[in-house]
Chains A and B, each alone.
Chain A
Amino acid sequence: MDKVFSDKKAIFLFVFPAFLVFFMIIIVPIFFSAYYSTLDWNGIGEPTFIGIKNYIDLFVNNTDGFTMAIKNSFLVAFFSVFVQVPLALILAIVISKGIKGEGFFRTVYFIPVIISTTVIGQLWMKVYQPKYGMLNKLLDILNLDFLQRNWLATPETALGSAFFVIIWQYIGYHMLLLYSGIKAIPTTIYEAAEVDGASNFQKAMRITIPLIAPMIKVCVTFALIGSLKTFDLIYVLTKGGPIHSTEVPTTLMFSSIFLQNKYGYGSSMAIFIIVECLIFTVFIQKFFKAENITY
């Protein structure tokens, strides 16, 4: 049987087509970015080779507040992994246990994911709008006026306000992934547990979560990588402002490459993002491998 499952020719035929496209679209540009990152180049004219100076500017000279941007992206990552994914997991478990309107809830919870970021951004800008916005109005009604803020206009609150939207929008995304994982678990296992008189909570902790560990790993990885390279919503909501307080590595990269004509410098940020994500991903893979469970 091992022979069938380690057939080299079959492995090649299975993997090669995907790899070919992947190589041309992803790998080659990574090499290009790596090369550009060693240049002082405005994207148009003659480049000058400057070695690792761009990286020194990023971290040692910290000219554009890059370390601050990294810190911001770590915060997003933290909230994604420890708030967003757990909430998604709870929702997935609750709606997958066969409640009435399961399909309805699953569909509706996913809606924010299908709506384009531009729309979500516009909507939340209206919610946070200091004068007429829903949030400040609600606080007014609840007699909590002292909590009213210029949410996206002040550096202290802009970051949290923007993060909240990011976390909220993608809960449905993780929920759907976890839900499909849960649904793949044979129902016989649950029936056996029910015979033993296990409560819903016990079933979730002892059966569901261990069995969907591979899917949780997928979600955690997506949440982490997605946060480290989060761009769209920040760009729509705050453009990295006010005064760079919500800047993340990708917004700085975009501005370096396309607004400030610093192609080489921007590419070094891209390379950093890739390396950073890679380190975290390998770490997650290792972490989950340690507690891999099969049945």
Chain B
Amino acid sequence: MENVKNLDEPSISKIKIKHAPRNTKHGMNNIKTYGERVILLLIAVVQVYPLIWLIMFSLKSNQEIFGKDPLALPQNLLWGNYARALFDGNIGRYFINSIIVTVASVIITSLLAAMASYAIARMKWKLSGTMLIVFLLGLMIPMHSTLLPLFIFLKKTQFYNTYAALILPYIGFSLPMAIFVLVGFFGTLPRELEESACLDGANIYQIFARIMLPLIKPAIATISIFTYLSCWNELMFATTFVSKQEYKTLTVGIMGMVGQYATRWGELGAGLVIATLPTVLIYISMSKQVQKSFTTGALKG
């Protein structure tokens, strides 16, 4: 309790200063802050629960997972699930492949999307609106319907069974989202910076690289997270476009723990924890990056 009070002190004092003329309402504000905090914390518990549940799941046996009390704590902690998930298959190799495919997709998507959205959002040409709609088409196409055409394309171009067999489709499917977010974000930026740079004699490439790129860092971080998530968790393409052990990704490896007639679910859970952990860590560090760019960027004030 003591801690909570301490935590809240600064925000209370802030309110005091800000609303100095309305001191009578101070008590109510205090209650409101507490109420708000309780609600926020409750939501936080709900949101974090899946992660906790997944970890419990990964330490259970099938009996406990599907038995009478599926949400209870595990009776015995079956660390063996982790040992099997880690050492029975090729998880290490798959993990590295996932990293290669995902990192390449994220970087290329961010760069291509930043360039295209800049041209669409900030430059003046007749077809910019049309171009945005064309890119948006990519959001609308159901992935499953592209499976066969893409399979044929990748086979004919000899990309099948290479990293590119996944990277190319991932970029293609991530671009629309990235472009749309970035165009939206560019729309919130003031014009003055570009204009003054232009008056100073900078060319368009310099304006893009030196002025705009640093400004859109928070948005780039945001779309990187989304691109990362869609590539890291993708299963259908990863299964279909790669049939060589050397190039398989982590999701495929983990789904491999599902058997034709029998599955050891705890082991699958352990695999999923192994796959989710980097995501959580990356998200937290990216999130800090986002925060940092908000506070140090040219936008503040």
Contact flag (A, B; Cβ within 8 A): yes
Q: CB within 8 Å of B: which residues of A?
A: 1-2, 4-8, 10-11, 13-15, 17-19, 21-22, 24-30, 32-33, 43, 91, 94-95, 98-101, 103-120, 122-123, 126-127, 129, 131-134, 172-173, 176-177, 180-181, 183-188, 194, 197, 211-212, 214-215, 217-218, 221-222, 225, 228-229, 231, 249-250, 253-254, 257-258, 263, 266-267, 270, 273-274, 277-278, 281-282, 285, 295
Q: Which residues on the B side are within 8 Å of A254 (C-beta)?
A: 144
Does A185 lie within 8 Å of B301, measured CB to CB? Answer: no
Q: Which residues on the B side are within 8 Å of A91 (C-beta)?
A: 43
B149 contact from A33, A119, A214, Cβ within 8 A: A33
Q: Which residues on the A side are within 8 Å of B43 (C-beta)?
A: 91, 109
Q: Which residues on the A side are within 8 Å of B180 (C-beta)?
A: 218, 221-222
**Interface presence of B95 (CB below 8 A):** no
B265 to chain A: closest residue by CB: A122
B280 contact from A22, A111, A122, A131, Cβ within 8 A: A111
Does A29 lie within 8 Å of B198, measured CB to CB? Answer: no
- A-B residue pairs in contact (CB < 8 Å), sample of 26: A15-B120, A94-B40, A95-B40, A100-B10, A100-B11, A109-B43, A109-B47, A111-B50, A114-B283, A119-B50, A119-B269, A129-B70, A131-B68, A176-B222, A183-B294, A184-B294, A211-B188, A218-B184, A231-B142, A249-B142, A250-B144, A253-B144, A253-B145, A273-B141, A274-B137, A278-B137
CB proximity to A under 8 Å, residues B258-292 = 269, 272, 275-276, 279-280, 283-284, 287-288, 290-291
Q: Which residues on the B side are within 8 Å of A24 (C-beta)?
A: 153, 168, 172
Q: Which residues on the A side are within 8 Å of B276 (C-beta)?
A: 114-116, 119
Does B137 lie within 8 Å of A26, measured CB to CB? Answer: yes
A22 contact from B10, B122, B138, B287, Cβ within 8 A: B138
Does B185 lie within 8 Å of A7, measured CB to CB? Answer: no
Does A274 lie within 8 Å of B218, measured CB to CB? Answer: no
A22-B172, A99-B11, A222-B139 given. 8 additional CB < 8 A pairs?
Answer: A103-B291, A111-B48, A115-B51, A132-B69, A184-B294, A222-B177, A225-B139, A266-B145
- Nearest 7 CB-CB pairs, A to B? A25-B172, A270-B145, A277-B140, A214-B187, A14-B119, A29-B146, A29-B149
CA distance A255 to B188 in the complex (A): 42
CA distance A278 to B120 in the complex (A): 19
CA distance A113 to B70 in the complex (A): 22
Does B149 lie within 8 Å of A181, measured CB to CB? Answer: no
A15 contact from B36, B119, B140, B145, Cβ within 8 A: B119
Does B188 lie within 8 Å of A185, measured CB to CB? Answer: yes
**Interface presence of B171 (CB below 8 A):** yes
**Interface presence of B54 (CB below 8 A):** yes
Tell me if B's interface is mostly helix, strand, loop or mixed.
Answer: helix
**Interface presence of B219 (CB below 8 A):** yes
Q: Which residues on the B side are within 8 Å of A10 (C-beta)?
A: 119, 123, 204-205
**Interface presence of B148 (CB below 8 A):** yes
Instruction: Tell whether A180 pairs with B219 under 8 Å between CB atoms, given A132-B68, A194-B18.
Output: yes
A280 to chain B: closest residue by CB: B140
Least CB distance from B92 to A in Å reads 20
A254 to chain B: closest residue by CB: B144
CA distance A30 to B179 in the complex (A): 19
CB proximity to A under 8 Å, residues B7-55 = 7-8, 10-11, 14, 18, 21, 36-37, 40, 43-44, 47-48, 50-51, 53-54
